[in-house]
Amino acid sequence: MADKSFRRDMNYVPDRITKDARRPEHGPVDGELWPVEPDRYRLIAAPACPWANRSVIVRKLLGLEDVISLGQPGPTHDERSWTFDLDPGGRDPVLGIERLQEAYFRRFPDYRRGITVPAIVEVSSGKLVTNDFPWITHDFWHEWTDYIKPDAPDLWPAALREEMDVVMERIFTEINNGVYRCGFAGSQEAYEEAYDRLWTSLDWLEERLAGRRYLMGDTITEADIRLFTTLVRFDAVYHGHFKCNRQKLSEMPVLWAYARDLYQTPGFGETIDFEQIKTHYYVVHTSINPTQIVPKGPDPEAWLTPHGRG
């Protein structure tokens, strides 16, 4: 069964952007350090991708839009790269490239791994800086402090960090990545194991959130953002396309209310494009959906109904 289970390649370009290119207090330093500098970098983040969606939400919540520009590829790609097919002329208006692959190759001409989003590109050189998505959003909060808006939420509360790391690890392994383990399982046995693991953790969240508004208590943290980007795609994609079909998110009263609460919070719902999300999964994953037919539903207006969690 081991050979039939989905395994995500977690080897990313490990460079980090820090204040004065200093050694960061948290996390590994396995690559180069780049200095925080307004207007030097461009975040490339496709709306369809949950990992990229996370970076867009954090950038917006922290008020970093004026210091880190945003480029957004379209929802589909081929084996080569994400493309800027929704921009005029099919090119990113700042970097001038048709494919994100070009930024990777300018930095690493023989780059052989996947061309992933989110990615941060240096505007002047057009070269990739990093695509290490867990640390991109971590460093937005910890390193860009001089540019964060005064009323931004504390996404990494010091007093909760130890517990938060545990919660986020389970969310990543069992839910963010868990839906992919279901969708790309190569055998019935691998699929059923992944399915059971996923629903065990979704039930855990249903119970945890019954007694608190957000994952860590009364305020939004990065843990909520990491969970939200999977939940918001659940009924539209993962329930059917990835066979995560014990029940819909909209049939889990606590998680569904929690997800709508976040969706209706400024910085969250406006980053969601359900048509791009559905187009990406149902068109790109031809091994799962060879017809490439994109479903019409569900109705996104359901996300605007009262959640009752205030």
Q: Is residue 310 part of a domain?
A: no
Pair 113, 177 in one domain = no
Mean pLDDT of 156-173: 97
Q: In the prediction, which pLDDT does 212 show?
A: 97
Is residue 190 located within the same domain as residue 280?
yes
124 with 28, same domain: the answer is yes
Residue 152 lies in a domain: no
Q: Is 180 a catalytic residue?
A: yes
Q: What pLDDT does residue 79 have?
A: 81
For residue 85, what is the domain's CATH number?
3.40.30.10
Whether residue 191 lies inside any domain: the answer is yes
Q: Find where tokens 């055998």 sit.
A: 187
pLDDT at res. 78? 83
Number of domains making up the chain = 2
82 inside domain? yes
Residue where a domain terminates, one of 147, 175, 205: 147
Q: Please report the pLDDT score of residue 4 as a whole number.
A: 86
**Which of 147, 180, 201 is at the close of a domain?**
147
The b-or-e profile of 163-188 (16+ CB within 10 A means b, else e) is: ebeebbebbbebbbbbbbbbbbbeee
Q: Token digits for 204?
A: 């855990």
CA neighbours closer than 13 Å in the CB half-sphere of residue 249: 27
Q: For residue 37, what are the contacts with CB-CB under 8 A and spacing of at least 6?
A: none
Can you tell me whether residue 169 is helix, strand or coil?
helix
- Whole-number pLDDT of residue 11: 85
Q: Is residue 309 part of a domain?
A: no
User: Does one domain contain both 92 and 15?
Assistant: yes
- Write the pLDDT tens digit of every residue in 45-97: 999 999 999 999 999 999 999 999 999 999 998 888 999 999 999 999 999 99
In this prediction the pTM is 0.96
Query: In the listed set 91, 121, 147, which residue is the last one of a domain according to the structure?
Result: 147
Annotated binding residues for glutathione, as ranges? Answer: 82
For residues 40 and 12, is the Cβ–Cβ distance under 8 A?
A: no
Band (261; pLDDT cuts 50, 70, 90): very high
Q: Report pLDDT for 159.
A: 96
Within this chain, do residues 289 and 163 fall inside the same structural domain, yes or no? yes
Summarize the confidence of residues 151-180 as an average pLDDT.
Answer: 97
Considering the domain architecture, whether residues 208 and 292 belong to the same structural domain is answered as yes
Shared domain check, 137 and 37:
yes
- At 3, is the pLDDT very low, low, confident or very high (cuts 50, 70, 90)? low
Instruction: Record the tokens describing residue 165, joined without a space.
Output: 């790391």
Together in a domain, 171 and 86: no
Binding residues: 82
What integer is the mean pLDDT of 272-298?
Answer: 97
Domain that includes residue 202, residue range: 158-304
Same domain, 23 and 75: yes
Catalytic residue among 12, 41, 104, 180: 180
Give residues with Cβ within 8 angstroms of 5, minimum separation 6.
Answer: 181, 185, 186, 190, 193, 194
If residue 143 lies in a helix (H) or strand (E), which one and from where to where?
helix 133-143
Q: Clarify whether residues 178 and 133 are in a common domain.
A: no
Task: Note the pLDDT tens digit of each residue in 98-114.
Answer: 999 999 999 999 999 99
Do both 194 and 130 map to the same domain?
Answer: no
Could you report the per-residue pLDDT of 21-45, keeping only the tens digit for each? 999 999 999 999 999 999 999 999 9
CATH code of the domain covering residue 207: 1.20.1050.10
Q: Are residues 114 and 216 in the same domain?
A: no
Catalytic residue, from 12, 49, 244, 263: name it. Answer: 49
pLDDT tens digits for range 210-247:
999 999 999 999 999 999 999 999 999 999 999 999 99
Residue 175 has pLDDT above 90, yes or no: yes
